[in-house]
Each structure stands twice: as structure tokens, then as C-alpha cells.
Amino acid sequence: MIEGACFCGTVRFRIAVPPTKLYQCHCSECRRVTGAAANASCLVPVNDFRWLSGEQDITQYLAPSGYRSHFCARCGSSVPNRMKHFDLYWVPAGNLPGDLDMQVAVHLCVASKAVWDEVVTTGQRFDAVPNIDTLLKLLR
């Protein structure tokens, strides 16, 4: 089991099975939300995820495109959110301990990456977002 938290520690959660593989999304919406070249995250089954504190301190922004961003109302950190149509939580890698043995297995939306973003050679690349079954197989 591992625990994760936002920057200020208000929003805390536990994952029963530590993830070993991450994906990075290079789309413009993920760049804007993170302020970085890509959004690194993992997908966790609902049954393996548990809120410990701060769930009431989570705020959501819904962009006109349908993109959702959940963040701590106190510190602004991105925090996990349950995916709309799947029994999964999206979990930002930055909320997890930095000493976990994880690797980036997939790069999404490479066709829309910023010109200054150099995608490393590790991991499978997709120009857009593949279907969820394909993504989940690569993240196992």
C-alpha cells in the first residue's frame, strides 16, 4: 500500500497496489493544467483506491471541451478524480512518493505536443488517445 497527497497535505489517499507504469499526455490542455510539457499519471481501479482526508476540499474545473481538472482548493495541486465512464481513478504521478519504482510506458497526444517538448524514447507513443482497453493493457 502507498499513500499520496496534494502539496499541502490536505487531500490524502491510499492505493492498495502501487502502480509501476505511468503515462504522459502531451496535449495542450494537460500542458496548461500542469504548466509542464506533459501530464504524468496512472490509472487505479476503484477498488484499490481510498480517500483518507480532504475530499471535501477538492474543487473541479470543467473546460468547454469536456476536460475536467480536480484540484485542492487550498494549494491548487492536481488531485485524483474518478473517471466518468470507467471504474478507475486518474491519479497524478506527482501526488505519489518519489521513490516508487515506476516507468513511463505510454506517451499520449504526441502529435499535439509543444515544439519544445522532446519526448523520450522509452514507452509506446500515440498521436492521440487510444481506446481504454489498449491503454490499460500497456499500463499493466
DSSP assignment, residue 94?
G
Question: Is the sign of the CA dihedral 105, 111, 113, 114 positive or negative?
Answer: positive
pLDDT surpasses 90 at 119: no
Task: Read off the pLDDT of each residue in 103-126 and give the average, rounded to a whole number.
Answer: 90
pLDDT surpasses 80 at 120: no
Q: Which of 104-108, 120-124, 130-134 has the highest mean pLDDT?
A: 104-108
What would the pLDDT profile of 28-57 be if each residue is shown by its tens digit? 999 999 889 999 999 999 999 999 999 999
Could you give the CA distance from residue 24 to residue 108 in angstroms, rounded to a whole number? 6
CATH number of 2-139: 2.170.150.70
pLDDT surpasses 80 at 110: yes
DSSP assignment, residue 59?
E
* Band (102; pLDDT cuts 50, 70, 90): very high
pLDDT surpasses 90 at 104: yes
Q: Where are the domains of the chain?
A: 2-139
pLDDT surpasses 80 at 1: yes
pTM for the model stands at 0.90
Answer whether 123's CB lies under 8 Å from 106's CB: yes
Q: Which of 86, 78, 85 is nearest to 41 (CA)?
A: 78
Q: Residue 113, class by beta-carbon neighbours within 10 Å (0-12 exposed, 13-18 middle, 19+ buried)?
A: buried
Q: How much of the chain exceeds pLDDT 90, in percent?
A: 80
